[in-house]
A and B are shown apart, each in its own frame.
Chain A
Amino acid sequence: MDFLGILQILDSSLRLATPLLLACLAGLFSERAGIFDIGLEGKMLASAFMSAAVASFTGDVWLGLMAGILASLLLALIHGVASITFRGNQLISGVAINFLASGLTVVIGEAWFALGGRTPQLSGGARFQEITLPFANAARDVPIVGPIYANLLSGHSILVYVALLLVPLSWWVLFRTRFGLRLRAVGENPAAVDTAGVSVVGLRYAAVMICGVLCGIAGAYLATALSAGFVKEMSAGRGFIALAALIFAKWRPWYALGATLLFGLLEALGNRFQSLDLFGIPIPTQFMQALPYILTVVILAGFVGKAIPPRAGGEPYVKER
C-alpha cells in the first residue's frame, strides 16, 4: 500500500473515531461523577434521529444539531431522575434508555416520514459540509507534510474539529477547575463532597447533563455528517465501544483520544478490507465486521493493564440522617 493509501485509511479512521470520541468523553464526565452510563448508545441514537428529522424539515443542520442535543438531554434527564433522585439501578436505567431510543426512533420516524424508520436523504445545508483548512490546497505539493495536512487533517466536518478540541477542554475542566475537582471527588467519595457543603445531587446532575450534550453531538455527527440521514439502529454498538474505550483509557481525556482513534482505525480497516487473505487463508467478511467487538472484549479482558474505575461509580448516594 502506498503513502496516499495509508493516508486514506487514517483519514477514514479519524472520521469513524469522532462519534466514539464524543461518546467516550460523554461517558468520562458521567462516570467520573459516579454515574455509570450504559445508555450512551441510546442517547446517540435518539440524537441521530432527531437531528436528521429536524434537519430534513428545516433544511438547517444547526437546528438539527440543537434538536439532537435536546433529545439526548431528555434521555439524560430520565437517567438522572432514575439513578440520582430515585437511586435506582444505573445499569438497568441505561438499558431501558437504549431500548426506549431504539423503539421510539423507529415508531416516531415511521409516523413522520413513513419510510420504514428512515429519514429522508439529507443534502446541502441540511448536512455538515466538509471544511477545507486554510492553505490545504497550496500545501498539497509539499512532500510528506503536505499530503498529511491536505488529506488527513483538512476536509472534515466541523464536528470532527469540535471533538478534537473537546479533548483538551475536557482535560482542563476536569483537572484544572474547581468544578472538575468537585466532579471527580463526587465520583470517588460523595460523602466528603457533601461534608464540604457542596451538593452531590447538583454535581451529578451537571455531569449527566454534560454527558447528554456530548452524546447529542455524537449522534448528530452520525446522522448529519458521517451519513446523510438516519437509518434504524445506526449507532450499531458505538455507545458500548465508547464505554470500552473509556475503560481502556482509564477514565482520562487524552488516553480516550488514543483509544477511540484505535477503534476508529479498526473500523476503517474493516471497511477497507471487506475480504482479506492472510497467508493464503481467506478471512471472512463477518470476521472483519466483528473485529471491533472482539477487540473490545480483548481490551476489557485487561490484557492492556489494570484499569481502576472511580470508586463510588454505580452507587447511589444516600445522605446520612
Chain B
Amino acid sequence: MNDTLPRWVDIVLIPFINLFLALLVSGLVVLLIGKNPIEALTILVNGSVGSSYGWGYTLFYATNFIFTGLGVAVAFHARLFNIGGEGQAALGGLGVALAALSLNWPHWSLALPAAVIGGMLFGAAWAAIPAYLQAKRGSHIVITTIMFNFIASALMVYLLANVLKVPGSASPETARFVEGARLPNAYDVMSFLGFSRSTPLNISFFVAIAACVCVYFLIWRTKLGYEIRSFGKSEPGAIYAGISPVRITMIAMLISGGLCGLMAVNAVMGEAERLVLDPVQGAGFVGIAVALMGRSHPVGVFIAALLFGALYQGGAELTFEMNGMTREMILVIQALVILFTGALDNMVRGPLEAVFVARTRQPVPPVPTTPLTGGGHEEEKKVEP
C-alpha cells in the first residue's frame, strides 16, 4: 500500500473509479454492437436487485464468488497467482458429490460438514501439485494452474461419462442427492422475504460469510497469516526471518485451493443437488476479478462478490431481454474490471497521488529509520495484494 494516499482513497475511491472506467468502456462496447447502453444498464440493475427473484440469484452467484475470491486473495497475500480456481472448484464438486452420495444422510446439518470437508480436500489436492512444482521446481504457477484447469475438465468429463453416471442414463451426471443431503434454501429459511420455492440461494451463503471471517482471522490474527503476508511482501525478508518459502507456498496454495473447492458446496449441493458437467461456470476466473477489486481483504471480497453476483444475474437477464446480447458480455465487463483494477491501477493512482501529495506536502514526513535504497521501487512492482 502506498503511504502517501489516505486510506479511504486507496480502498474506496480508487476501486470505484476503476469500476466506473470498466463500466464506461463496457458501455462503449454495447454501443459498438448497436445497442443502447442505458437500456442495458437498466435491465441489468432491475434484473439483479429489482426483485426477490433477482436477489435470490444475485446472492447465489455472490456466494460462489466469495469462495473463489477468498481463494485467489489468500494466494495473492503470498504473492502467488492462482488461476486454477476453475479446476480446483470442479474437483471440489467431485469431493462434495462423493461426500453427499457416500451415506444415506439423515439430515442436512450432518451432510453439510462432510461436504465442506470433501470440497476443501479435493480442491486443495488439485492445487497441491502446481504448488509443489512452484515451491520445489520453480515451475511457473500461472501456467501450471491453467494446465490443471484443462486437465480437470477432461478428468471430470471422463468420470461423469464413465464412472459416476447413473447406469442406464444417457446424461453425464450423478444420481440426485438423497433428501437428507439437501441444503435448505432461502424459501425454507426466509420465505417471508418473498423468495420463491425454486430460488437457488441456500444456506451455503452463511458458510461463505463464515469463510470470510475465518480468512480475516487467518491472515491478520495468526502467526501463519503473518508468515504468508511476510512471504508475499518480500521473499528474502521472509527467508531471513526463518520462514520457509516451500512451506508457505504449499500452505497458501492448499488453503486457496480448498476455498475454491468450497464453492462447490453452494453450486453442487445447494443448487444442482447432483454433480453435472461444469458446475463452476467460470466462477474460478471471476474470483480473480473479485480478489483484485476487493484488495484481497475479506470485506472487500464480500462487497466485490456481491457486485459480480449482481452482474452475473443482471447479465443473464440481459441475454433474455435484449436481442442479440450474449452471456459473454459479462466476460467482457469482468475482463475490463481486471484490467483497470489490476493492471492499469497506476493510471488512476498516479494523478490521485499527485493531488493528495500536493495537499499534504507541508508537514515533513518522518525520516525512515532504514535507508530507502530500492525500497521505493519495490513498492511499485508488486502484485497489489
Instruction: Determine the main DSSP class of A at the interface with B.
Output: helix
B143/A96 in contact, CB under 8 A: no
Which one of B81, B150, B333 lies within 8 Å of A237 (CB-CB)?
Answer: B150
The answer to whether B239 has its CB under 8 Å from any CB of chain A is no
Given contacts A95-B288, A247-B140, A316-B381, contact A107 B338 (CB under 8 A): no
Interface status of B29 (Cβ within 8 A of chain A): yes
Say yes or no for A289: interface residue by CB 8 A criterion. yes
A103 at the binding interface (Cβ < 8 Å): yes
Q: Within B315-341, which residues are at the interface with A (CB < 8 Å)?
A: 324-326, 328-336, 338-339
What distance in Å separates the Cβ of B28 from its nearest Cβ neighbour in chain A? 12
Contact (A96, B339) CB under 8 Å given A89-B384, A302-B139: yes
Please state if B29 and A107 are interface contacts (CB–CB under 8 Å): yes
Q: Are A286 and B157 in contact (CB under 8 A)?
A: yes
Tell me whether A93 and B342 are in contact (CB under 8 A): yes
A93–B336 Cα distance when bound, in Å, is: 10
Q: Are A293 and B338 interface neighbours, CB within 8 A?
A: no
Residues of B within 8 A of A289 (CB): 154
| Interface positions of B from 283 to 318, Cβ below 8 Å from A | 285, 288, 292
Q: Nearest B residue to A111 by beta-carbon distance?
A: B33
Cα of A78 to Cα of B339 in the assembled complex, Å: 9
How far, in angstroms, from A83 to B344 measured CA to CA in the complex?
Answer: 8
Q: Pick from B146, B162, B335, B343: contact of A240, CB below 8 A.
A: B146
Does A244 have its Cβ within 8 Å of any Cβ on chain B? yes
Which residue of chain A lies nearest to B383 when distances are taken between CB atoms in the complex?
A89
CA distance A99 to B343 in the complex (A): 13
A290 interfacial contact with B, CB 8 Å: yes
Chain B residues near A89 (CB-CB < 8 A): 342-343, 381-384
Check A83 against B343 for contact (C-beta < 8 Å).
yes
In the complex, chain A residues whose CB is within 8 Å of the CB of B238: none
B189 within 8 A of A: no
Whether B155 lies near A290 (C-beta < 8 A) is: yes
Please determine whether B140 and A300 come into contact, CB atoms closer than 8 angstroms. Answer: yes
Asked if A264 is at the interface of the complex by the 8 Å CB criterion, the answer is no
CA distance A240 to B288 in the complex (A): 18
Q: Is the CB of B143 within 8 A of A244?
A: yes
Closest chain B residue to A285, Cβ basis: B158
Q: For B292, list chain A residues within 8 Å (CB).
A: 92
A141 close to chain B: CB less than 8 A = no
User: Of A86, A106, A286, A290, which contacts B328 at CB under 8 A?
Assistant: A106
By the criterion CB–CB under 8 Å, are A100 and B335 in contact? yes
Q: Does A60 contact B (CB under 8 A)?
A: no
Which of B340-366 touch A at CB < 8 Å? 342-347, 350
Q: How far is the CA of A110 from the CA of B319 in the complex (A)?
A: 12
Bound: A243/B83 CA distance, A:
15
* A296 on the B face (CB < 8 A): yes
Most buried by A among B158, B329, B332: B332
Q: A99-B334, A290-B155, A302-B139 are in contact. Are A110 and B344 (CB under 8 A)?
A: no
From B129, B158, B288, B380, contact of A87 by CB (8 A): B380
Q: Distance (Å) between the CB of A205 and the closest chain B CB? A: 16
Restricting to A91-146, which residues have a CB under 8 Å from any CB of B?
Answer: 91-93, 95-100, 102-104, 106-108, 110-111, 114, 117
The 10 closest A-B pairs by CB, nearest first: A103-B331, A99-B335, A93-B343, A111-B33, A92-B342, A103-B332, A88-B343, A96-B339, A290-B154, A100-B335
A residues neighboring B (CB under 8 Å) = 38, 78, 81-83, 86-93, 95-100, 102-104, 106-108, 110-111, 114, 117, 232, 237, 240, 243-244, 247, 284, 286-287, 289-290, 293-294, 296-297, 300-302, 315-316, 318
15 extra A-B contacts, CB within 8 A, seeds A106-B326, A297-B139, A302-B138: A82-B339, A86-B345, A89-B343, A92-B288, A95-B342, A97-B335, A99-B338, A107-B33, A110-B326, A240-B143, A290-B150, A294-B151, A297-B130, A301-B137, A301-B139
- The 5 sampled A-B contact pairs (Cβ below 8 Å) are A89-B384, A95-B338, A108-B32, A286-B154, A302-B139
